[in-house]
């Protein structure tokens, strides 16, 4: 089962997809945001292209666990997306995922220009991989 991972920002949406076994996440693209309906249409194409069966969306909670304006923006996109897809959409706490992506790219000595181009995709990979790892832990416990 392929799962799509999204890192939703105000200007872009980083997209990652799992392998068919649901073990690893790979970055696939960064979409430029427009209107909610356009964003939803772009994401629907990606869902169809990769035959995704679930979508995991990073939810940027505040450090105290509350939902701020960025989280509300993500929830609005999810609401719009649910109008056109029937597959499950789950949120994943993505606090600090962009910072972790930045750190990963710095450690890999990626240039500033290149980092700017791939940061959202890398954040989507980290969100999806965290979700996949949590599923694997549940399987191990069972």
Q: How confident is the model at residue 141 (pLDDT cuts 50, 70, 90)?
A: low
Question: What CATH number does the domain containing 64 carry?
Answer: 3.30.420.140
R_g of the chain computed on alpha carbons: 14
Number of structural domains (the chain) is 1
Instruction: Tell me the C-alpha distance between 21 and 124, whole Å.
Output: 18
Give me the pLDDT at residue 135, please. 86
The whole model's pTM is what? 0.86
Segment 26-62, tens digit of pLDDT: 999 999 999 999 999 999 999 999 999 999 999 988 7
pLDDT tier at 6, thresholds 50, 70, 90: very high
DSSP category for residue 33: P
Count of residues making up the chain: 142
Task: Give tens-digit pLDDT for 70-103.
Answer: 999 999 999 999 999 999 999 998 866 666 666 7
pLDDT tens-digit series, residues 103-131: 776 777 777 777 676 778 888 999 999 99
In which domain, by residue range, is 107 found? 2-141
* Residues 61-73 as b or e (16 or more Cβ within 10 Å = b): beeeeeeeebbeb
Determine the pLDDT at residue 111. Answer: 75
């Amino acid at each position: 089962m392929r799962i799509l991972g999204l890192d939703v920002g105000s200007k872009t949406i980083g997209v990652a997809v799992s392998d068919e076994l649901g073990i690893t996440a790979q970055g696939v693209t960064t979409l430029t945001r427009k209107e909610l309906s356009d964003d939803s249409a772009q994401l629907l194409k990606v869902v169809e292209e990769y035959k995704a069966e679930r979508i995991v969306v990073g939810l940027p909670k505040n450090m105290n666990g509350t939902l701020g304006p960025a989280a509300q923006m993500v929830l609005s996109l999810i609401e719009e997306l649910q109008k056109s897809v029937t597959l499950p959409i789950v949120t994943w706490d993505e606090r600090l995922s962009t910072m972790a992506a930045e750190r990963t790219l710095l450690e890999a000595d990626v240039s500033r220009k290149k980092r700017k181009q791939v940061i959202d995709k890398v954040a989507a990979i980290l969100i999806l991989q965290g979700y996949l790892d949590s599923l694997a832990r549940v399987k191990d416990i069972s």
